[in-house]
Structure 1
Amino acid sequence: MRAILRRLYPSAKFPVARYPVARPFSTQREPRQASSFWTITFTLAIVGGGAWLQDKYYNPKPIPKAVLQQPTQQSFLGVIDTLATMPAEPAPGTVGNLTPEQEVKLKEFWVLALKVFGLTLEELEAPAQPTSDAAPAQDKKKAKGRWAIWGKGDDDDTKSTSSDATSVSIAAEDDKYGQSKEYKQALEDMKPEEIRTAFWSMVKGDNPDSLLLRFLRARKWDTKKALVMLISTMRWRLLEMHVDDDIMFNGEEMALKQSQGTDAKEKKKGDDFLTQMRLGKSFLHGVDRAGRPICVVRVRLHKAGDQDNEGLERFTVYTIETARLLLAPPVETATIVFDMTDFGVANMDYAPVKFMIKCFEANYPESLGTVLIHKAPWLFSSIWSIIKGWLDPVVAAKVHFTKNRQDLEKFIHPNQIMKELEGDEDWEYKYVEVGENENPKMADKETRDTLMAERQQLAKEIQDVTIEWIRASFKKETAAASAAEEKRNELVEKLRSQYWVLDPYVRARSLYDRLNIVQGGGKIDFYPDAAK
């Protein structure tokens, strides 16, 4: 990375740094069918649902020349000072950049979530909420004297009148994926403690506030709609896709074992999965001018119909969860370069599109910054007209068409554009095979159980101090609120650090671990050799 930065900014000095990212943890299950890497990322790039593409608060704008020519700014919290154009401030509506009204919404959301987790909370006094643009117009009215947690609340289109959590719902016209039903089903299928555990599993190495804020932004700061979306997602992760206890737990090593087995069906699953990885139909490499990780998709390497829908859905989740490894605060979104060189009709897959729209709109909100469709041929115009019709106009606006190197340079520095894309970077994708016994700690169930119990205890402490923080804030006990917030921040950092101790016991190593891009302790470096 130092070498790259010296080429970018010869007069500047750049310390080598690593930054924390998020990973999953789980218990073991048998994997589902593997799938096409390109198809998944292609769909991600084009229809990444409102969730990835619908990043309302990180809308890329034309970059002033002065910014493009500046050396590295001081990094946020000192964690990404190797990124030449890292934003100096977190995006609006994210941790570290909340308005007072948005912070109130975050606290309200915590109370709702903690109630679903099974905590018995006394009513908390809340101040009258001032009008702001943190919520839709129908929400801009003075709050009642107390928190209307489950009763008649602050949302005109939420008709819950019971103290029972199942009464929280979304108006049919605003419930595209039937999440009200899924939410109620989650409360029936899962005990409060299971929901609580699933939430902290989903947090991984993130700040839990960051996770909640993603759902709040996606639902335009409507806390009840965000709650329905959050709980529905946890049910989907735990009971439908088995994200942490199967997909990420088993990873590439299981695919290799399947490919070497004698069972024809299992062997095909493993072969299909590894074929995508070995060809490099899609891969993660480098960052754009905003410090966002880049996913490059080589469309020409894929042929439609090679995998069934179940396999595609499985690999969709694997791809997204792997991309999460490369995100770090204040960066919360990714960029996809969709290389359509030599694209033909045979390369196009519609089957996974609807799944992907639902997946990213409902389960991975606020995670994609921009999509670059590069060198699209004329025949793609009819395909795009169909796909665009499925997207909200705000979502479609996140997609940009680029024709040449100059267009790409608006988003990515030429030294981080591969020669394959007519850039200056002399780098090419190479798959490193799974090593022999590269996941030894995952067999140590005793240590894993101990670490997971330790994590849940930390989570409980965060919950307790979160309640104190909220209570003191709304009673305007400034000193107590500040003390609780400080303690809370310390515990969140402990949770982040503890996750990386747990990680090798719950997540199979990936290509990016073998390349030493994802390093120990939650550090990442796209150019580990250059850093040396």
Structure 2
Amino acid sequence: MRPFGRLLRQPIHIRHHLHLQRPRHFNHDVFRPSRTTSSRPTQPPTRRSRAPLPQRSAFDPLAFAIALAVACLSAEYIGSKYYWINDDDEEHETDEEATSSSPQDEGLQSDITGDSSTDLEHLALLYRHTMAANMPPGRPGNLTPDQETKLKEMWLAVLEVFGVAHEPSSHTNGTATSTSDSTTSTTPQKKKKSRLSIFGKKDKSDTDPSDPSSADNDKHGQTKDYQRALASQSPESLRDAFWSMSKHDHPDALLLRFLRARKWDVQAALVMMIATMHWRSTEMHVDDDIMVNGEEAALKESKSANAAEKKEGDDFMAQLRMGKSFLHGADKDGRPCCWVRVKLHKQGEQSERSLERFTVYTIETARMMLRPPVDTATIVFDMTDFSMANMDYTPVKFMIKCFEANYPESLGSVLVYKAPWIFQGIWKIIRGWLDPVVAGKVHFASQLDELSEFIPRSQIMKEMGGEEDWRYEYVEPRDGENQRMLEAGPKEELQRERTELVRSYESETVAWAHGEDKGEGRGRIAERLAQNYWRLDPFVRAQSLYDRTGVLGESGKLEFYPSRASPTVPAGPGAADDDVD
């Protein structure tokens, strides 16, 4: 014990040193080779040789005949199912069918190109064929039985909010009736209750947190907007907002955007859609201000004596003139491209209101360039020469809200080109704000080869390293370019026609949703609604840069790359009156 006692009396660092010097004992048997190991060399495994497969001829006549027959039968089935109208069959209708249909139905079932221009005939033909053959899944003409059932449920819920009776008997007179017209003034509370409890009230304790419409998952507060819309807006105003947004789109396509965005949850899709109508009509005033007034009104505001109006007009026109963002060309999938030159944005140069109006104006103008089966657009953010002075989170948040809440399923892809290293930290913040589906559409391209995977090199501007000899130049609005908007007679006639088409479409939809028919008439009415809009367009939408440069033509004609041989449009407010179309 004495040596051990002397060790304990040593300082701690000496004891530790002595402990480290103690010999360590190893189990050397671990490193000895096993005696059971065989010393014979191992033979490599032999591979059995397989008999050669029988050779088949390059051309099998029997297989080719079977494939050809299947293709023909499939084409005939698709053509009969998705609105391919046979004009010869329509001309040889029996007298019984002709007498059983009402005059209004005869007008709807007549040849859609009878009283239309050549451009509208071509548009209707293109619309009819693309709706049948090339539509992506979840679009009109390409729905599964379950998806079609969800669409029917969505339509019945929407029509109830719009105050349109959707009982099966309402289809007998050829038009759907409005519940607001038949409801007396002594029962306003009952009508309000039915609109607010379409899906039944739930106890707060029974709220499903996984429900997209619940407060926990309501990222943009659309449930409150939905309730506010039902409480403050009339059914007619919400109905008008919907059909104003529809424009040249198939009405089913508009509803299906919200259904796809909410994973085919009808209740959540309805909340999202009504909140969007409320946003369009009461907050942004998309159709009764931004689009109907357009660039010409902004130019006039920039010359106003009122300081506030002049500021808004100057800010809006400044963004157009510098080309901060503009629409040009299409990507490899035929989607219109919006090019954003980030270096031209400086925080605080334009007011928040003008930035939001310009963003909505650009999105709505891009919608004018969508033709089925293309229903989305591509945004290219050119980050060349980007610095922190160009970073502004407020418009970024507004843009995210637009595409996630108010323009669902409208974004095809987002291309971020030549982002510097400083953007990495910014992207981490922005990515946290994005819905995972939207974030999955963002692609980074640091070189031209990567960008050309999405857009052909020949359609990328030279300023970005591409081969297209084109640069953005703004053409100023002309005096009197929107003169047709003042012609009350033609405008009212087209609006009356559209009102009748809308009523007929709603009536046909009620019958289709209740299983009374297969909905063939809805497709024909949707075509006529598209034609009607393009005739009405000059009266309800102010001319834009893309109308003046020939990208958007008469009757909905679209030319992404208008020929340079086409006549140029005179620019500036000093253009002569005889130059006005």
Quickly name the TM-score band, shorter chain normalised: 0.7 to 0.9
Shift of 1:80: 12
Alignment match of 2:448 (pick from 405, 428, 431): 405
Aligned residue in 2 for 1:163: none
Given the alignment of the two structures, is residue 186 of structure 1 paired with residue 263 of structure 2, yes or no? no
Aligned residue in 1 for 2:245: 202
Partner Cα separation in structure 2 for residue 316 and residue 91 of structure 1? 27
Aligned residue in 2 for 1:107: 152
> What SS class does the counterpart of residue 528 from structure 1 fall into?
coil
Shift of 1:260: 2.2
Alignment match of 1:256 (pick from 281, 299, 311): 299
Greater RCO between the two (CA within 8 Å, min separation 6)?
Answer: 1
RMSD value, Cα: 2.7
Aligned residue in 1 for 2:409: 366
Aligned residue in 2 for 1:162: none
Given the alignment of the two structures, is residue 335 of structure 1 paired with residue 378 of structure 2, yes or no? yes
Aligned residue in 2 for 1:521: 555
* 1:407–1:76 distance in 2 versus 1, CA, 3 Å: farther
* 1:157–1:257 distance in 2 versus 1, CA, 3 Å: farther
Shift of 1:376: 0.6
What aligned pairs does 1:44-123 form with structure 2 within 5 A after superposition?
Answer: 78=126, 89-122=134-167
Alignment length, in residue pairs? 413
Cα pair 1:416 1:424 within 8 Å, conserved: yes
- Residue deviations 1:421-451 (CA, integer Å, cap 9, x gap): 2111111111111011100011223443332
Aligned residue in 1 for 2:423: 380
**Aligned letter for 1:205?**
H
Alignment match of 2:394 (pick from 351, 354, 376): 351
- Residue deviations 1:141-191 (CA, integer Å, cap 9, x gap): xxxxxxx963499xx9778xxxxxxxx993222222222221121112111
Alignment match of 2:530 (pick from 451, 475, 496): 496
Partner Cα separation in structure 1 for residue 505 and residue 132 of structure 2? 29
TM-score (norm 1): 0.73
Cα pair 2:168 2:510 within 8 Å, conserved: no
Aligned residue in 2 for 1:416: 459
Partner Cα separation in structure 2 for residue 178 and residue 261 of structure 1? 37
Shift of 1:121: 2.8
Aligned residue in 1 for 2:100: none
- Residue deviations 1:186-216 (CA, integer Å, cap 9, x gap): 1121111222121111101110000000000
* 1:346–1:385 distance in 2 versus 1, CA, 3 Å: same
What aligned pairs does 1:214-233 form with structure 2 within 5 A after superposition?
Answer: 214-233=257-276
Partner Cα separation in structure 1 for residue 397 and residue 339 of structure 2? 22
> What SS class does the counterpart of residue 413 from structure 2 fall into?
strand
Aligned residue in 2 for 1:389: 432
Alignment match of 2:512 (pick from 436, 446, 469): 469
Cα pair 2:212 2:218 within 8 Å, conserved: no
Kindly, what percent of the aligned residue pairs are identical?
58
Partner Cα separation in structure 1 for residue 333 and residue 565 of structure 2? 21
Given the alignment of the two structures, is residue 305 of structure 1 paired with residue 348 of structure 2, yes or no? yes
Shift of 1:357: 2.5
Partner Cα separation in structure 2 for residue 290 and residue 80 of structure 1? 20
Partner Cα separation in structure 2 for residue 449 and residue 227 of structure 1? 31
Gaps (5+ residues) in structure 1?
1-74, 125-147, 160-167, 473-479
Cα pair 1:282 1:297 within 8 Å, conserved: yes
**Aligned letter for 1:488?**
R
Look at both structures and tell me which one has the larger radius of gyration over its CA atoms: 2
Gaps (5+ residues) in structure 2?
1-122, 170-196, 567-581
**Aligned letter for 2:161?**
V
What aligned pairs does 1:109-148 form with structure 2 within 5 A after superposition?
Answer: 109-122=154-167
TM-score (norm 2): 0.67
Partner Cα separation in structure 1 for residue 133 and residue 343 of structure 2? 37
Cα pair 2:302 2:310 within 8 Å, conserved: yes
Partner Cα separation in structure 2 for residue 334 and residue 76 of structure 1? 22
Partner Cα separation in structure 1 for residue 259 and residue 364 of structure 2? 20
Given the alignment of the two structures, is residue 172 of structure 1 paired with residue 219 of structure 2, yes or no? no
Shift of 1:355: 2.6
Runs ≥4 residues deviating over 4 A: 156-159
Aligned residue in 1 for 2:475: 432
Cα pair 1:87 1:290 within 8 Å, conserved: no
